[in-house]
């Protein structure tokens, strides 16, 4: 059964790669084409440089994608203009071939251009017609349980035929554009970012100009507290999930042969209209004065904690099964639900202390198959075992796939109780500390073997979600583009 589940998990990850990173899913960030442009629900905007000076175009852009037999076909169509009477039309079809590396939980992709057409007509009757387009992009995606990370390299060449009138004489010449750059991104339940950095070398008879485009698309789900203003009410406030989408772009250009506009930077920015989802209101009676009250209420509102009692018991020990389920729900971990085909094929729980009829069983099973959490032994999962800080941190860092970012084995952490950190948790403790997910106490102890209370577990889970929502965006967009 385990092998069947693992195979199904891999198939699911392959599908998610297509849907989340290369498809049209609205929850996924993706920069449109490779021209530095941005769009919102209404319009598209980009800056054009072939004429020797920046020209801004706006208009309509449509994207359609079709997947079949590990091949994705992406079609981009643009119909743009500006207030000066300049016009740009473009249609490009890319084909991406996917190769799945099952044992590595990775997928590689190779993209080429299938067909293209582009024509720019300026108000002075000059025209630029795309005559040749050679394009290659290689990408890899690493599927981790909480987040998918990907990276790609781009190299291309465009040749344009230019026709312009100079002193009543029509001059025809060629402009060659060399493109080289990369794109990086991530996708998880709380957000996604796709950042593209491309250098353009534009060779024309007038000289050579250089442009660097930096463009990023980010989507995020932000948890916000809404205060209930009337005092005569059964509750004082609650949370909402606000989904936001923002594209930013920057063009840095150097045009040595243009005496009026040699160097400069052009910025463009677009925000999509946010959407809002109101969540249920928690009503625990024993957390009003507890320091972790905001964390507990957030997690309950999201359904990460599904308590039926009016009492949360924030200072009681967090159990291993409930923490595992909470992590899985926090990242919307995909679960596998199999129904027996006949009585002889009845499914059994993977471990003796797990109940397959428990609604939360599928989350634990999925976490086990994805190696986020480990059992006590071959027979027992340890469902009712109180979880320690080291064990909880290890589950979180494994879900992120970041345990390998620790130093070479043999290092010493900065904590004075470093010698008490279990060997299997040391890398995770180090990484979690560097990410700001955990802090030492006033004596610089990390207390790895301390049993985690439900209140402290709530704090750790909220920090985990904040990392998925905000810190990755900072790293994949703001730190790379270096402007707001």
pLDDT in tens, 2-48: 344 333 333 333 333 333 333 333 458 899 999 999 999 899 999 99
Mean pLDDT across 61-76: 92
Share of the chain above pLDDT 90, in %: 71
Q: Which residue has the higher pLDDT, 230 or 12?
A: 230
**Bigger pLDDT: 403 or 24?**
403
Domain boundaries, the chain: 2-221+248-273, 277-469
| Predicted confidence band of residue 421 (pLDDT cuts 50, 70, 90) | very high
Q: Which tokens is 200 given? A: 């353009």
State the residue for tokens 């309509």: 60
pLDDT grade, residue 294 (50/70/90)?
Answer: very high
Q: What is the pLDDT of residue 20?
A: 34
Residue 147 has pLDDT above 50, yes or no: yes
Question: Tokens standing for 86?
Answer: 């300049």
When pLDDT is averaged across residues 259-269 and rounded to a whole number, the result is 89
Buried b (16+ CB within 10 A) or exposed e, 2-35: eeebeeebbeebbebbbbbbbbebeebbbbbbbb
pLDDT, position 308:
77
pLDDT value of residue 11: 35
Q: What is the pLDDT of residues 84-134, one digit of tens each?
A: 999 999 999 999 999 999 888 899 999 999 999 999 999 989 999 999 999
Which pLDDT belongs to residue 482?
67
255, 52 contact by CB (below 8 A)? yes
Q: Among the listed ranges 155-164, 209-218, 284-293, 304-313, which one has the minimum average pLDDT value?
A: 304-313
What's the pLDDT at 8? 38
User: pLDDT digit string (tens) for 342-381?
Assistant: 455 567 889 999 999 998 999 999 999 999 999 999 999 9
For position 27, what pLDDT does the model report?
55
Q: Which residue has the higher pLDDT, 117 or 237?
A: 117
Q: Rounded mean pLDDT of the chain?
A: 88
Task: With a cut of 70, say whether residue 305 has pLDDT above it.
Answer: yes
Angle, CA of 259, 206 and 116, to the nearest 5°? 115
**Which range (34-43, 213-222, 252-261) has the least confidence?**
252-261
């Amino acid at each position: 059964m385990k092998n069947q589940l693992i195979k199904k998990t891999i198939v699911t990850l392959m599908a998610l790669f297509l849907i989340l990173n290369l498809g049209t899913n609205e929850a996924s960030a993706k920069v449109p084409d490779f021209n530095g442009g941005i769009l919102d629900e209404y319009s598209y905007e980009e800056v054009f440089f072939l004429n020797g000076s920046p020209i801004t175009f706006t208009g309509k852009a449509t994207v359609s994608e079709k997947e079949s037999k590990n091949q994705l076909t992406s079609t981009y169509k643009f119909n743009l203009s500006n207030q000066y009477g300049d016009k740009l039309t473009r249609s490009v079809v890319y084909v991406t071939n996917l190769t799945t590396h099952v044992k590595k939980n990775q997928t590689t992709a190779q993209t080429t251009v299938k067909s293209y057409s582009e024509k720019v007509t300026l108000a002075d009757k000059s025209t630029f017609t795309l005559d040749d387009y050679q394009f290659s992009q290689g990408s890899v995606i690493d599927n981790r349980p909480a987040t998918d990370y990907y990276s790609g390299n781009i190299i291309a060449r465009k040749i344009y035929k230019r026709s312009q009138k100079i002193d009543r004489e029509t001059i025809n010449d060629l402009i060659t554009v060399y493109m080289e750059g990369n794109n990086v991104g991530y996708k998880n339940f709380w957000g996604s970012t796709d950042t593209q950095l491309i250098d353009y070398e534009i060779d024309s008879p007038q000289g050579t100009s250089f442009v660097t485009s930096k463009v990023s698309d980010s989507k995020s789900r932000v948890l916000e507290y809404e205060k209930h203003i009337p005092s005569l009410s059964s509750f004082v406030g609650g949370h909402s999930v606000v989904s936001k989408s923002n594209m930013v772009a920057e063009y840095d250009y150097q045009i040595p042969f243009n005496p009026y506009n040699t160097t400069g930077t052009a910025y463009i920015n677009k925000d999509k209209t946010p959407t809002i989802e109101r969540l249920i209101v928690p009503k625990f009676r024993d957390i009003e004065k507890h320091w972790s009250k905001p964390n507990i209420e957030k997690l309950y509102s999201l359904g990460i904690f599904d308590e039926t009692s009016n009492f949360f018991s924030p200072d009681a020990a967090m159990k291993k099964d409930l923490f595992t389920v909470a992590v899985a729900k926090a990242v919307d971990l995909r679960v596998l639900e199999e129904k027996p085909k006949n009585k002889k094929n009845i499914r059994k729980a993977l471990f003796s202390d797990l109940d397959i009829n428990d609604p939360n069983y599928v989350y634990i099973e999925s976490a086990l198959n994805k190696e986020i959490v480990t059992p006590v032994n071959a027979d027992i999962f340890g469902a009712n075992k109180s979880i320690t800080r080291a064990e909880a941190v290890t589950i979180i860092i494994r879900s992120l796939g970041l345990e390998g970012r620790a130093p070479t084995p043999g290092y010493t952490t900065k904590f004075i109780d470093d010698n008490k950190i279990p060997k299997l948790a040391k890398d995770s403790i180090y990484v979690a500390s560097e990410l700001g997910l955990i802090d030492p106490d006033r004596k610089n102890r990390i207390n790895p073997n301390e049993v985690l209370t439900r209140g402290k577990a709530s704090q750790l889970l909220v920090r985990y979600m904040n990392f998925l929502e905000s810190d990755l965006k900072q790293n994949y967009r703001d730190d790379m583009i270096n402007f707001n």
